[in-house]
Amino acid sequence: RRALGRNGPLAGRRVVVTAGPTYEPIDPVRFIGNRSSGKQGFALAQAALDRGAEVVLIAGPVALETPIGARRIDVGTAAEMAEAVWREAEAADVLLMAAAVADYRPAQSRPFKIKRGEGLTLELIPTVDILAGVAARRASAGKPHVIVGFAAETRDLLENAQAKLQAKGLDLIVANDVTEPGAGFAVDTNRVTLIDARGRIEPLPLMSKAAVAEAILDRVVALLSATGG
């Protein structure tokens, strides 16, 4: 691993990374969440550290070791992640939003365990869109200079990812067809396509999540110098 550290291209930069799922409680023992190991997000944190960045890693519930040198903030729900991201993004140069945020949460979380055996109907309500909130605040705050989102798709990869890039006001989106072999959840490899706000599309081959992270950080370094931020 290239330990560029203090002399790296992100020296003096603050990078906020989100990783893993969020868990939305149904009762004290059950939750609704997306599938996510957090591996791609943790690899991004490591790649940013290797380039000399100061890294804040906002992690949902995952079973991974904190990369040495990162400041880790553990969160549970989408609302908790939103609070942490919005607070940390104000002073961040870069936001890498790799988390698989739950899209819905139970309208009420029951205080006691629901007992098995009876029928159960849950009312679900949408969670807050964390990324859209960051992009909206950027207009007045001026930061983060570079906002990177991820798109987990099962069909129409490029169209769906491009629509998210525009709707959320991103600089770069990492499009991921999660049905592809080697690109799913919990594996150590990934196959992604990078799409930037100018419409440049760069498909990457199947490679390790560490290598994907390297490629994304190289693009982030280029975008940072392009924005003059």
Number of residues in contact with ligand CTP under rule CB under 6 A: 15
Encoded tokens for 99: 């988390």
Instruction: Indicate if 34 belongs to the active site.
Output: yes
103 belongs to the binding site for Ca ion (CB under 5 A): yes
Which of 228, 229, 217, 226 shows the shortest CA–CA distance to 9?
A: 217
User: Could you tell which of Ca ion, ligand CTP, none binds residue 78, using a CB distance below 5 to 8 A set by kind?
Assistant: ligand CTP
Tell whether 164 is in a known binding site: yes
Q: Is 150 annotated as a binding residue?
A: yes
Cβ atoms of 40 and 64 closer than 8 Å: no
Build a one-symbol-per-residue string for 27-46: x at contacts with Ca ion by CB under 5 A, - elsewhere.
--------------------
* 149 is a contact residue toward ligand CTP (CB under 6 A): yes
Closest CB to ligand CTP among 150 and 210?
Answer: 150
**Which residue, 52 or 164, is less far from ligand CTP as judged by CB?**
164
Active-site residues: which are they?
A: 34
Binding residues for CTP: 103, 113, 150, 164, 168
Query: Which parts are annotated binding residues?
Result: 103, 113, 150, 164, 168
Which parts of this chain interact with ligand CTP (CB under 6 A)?
A: 78, 97, 99, 101, 103, 127-131, 149-152, 164
Residues that bind Ca ion (CB under 5 A): 103
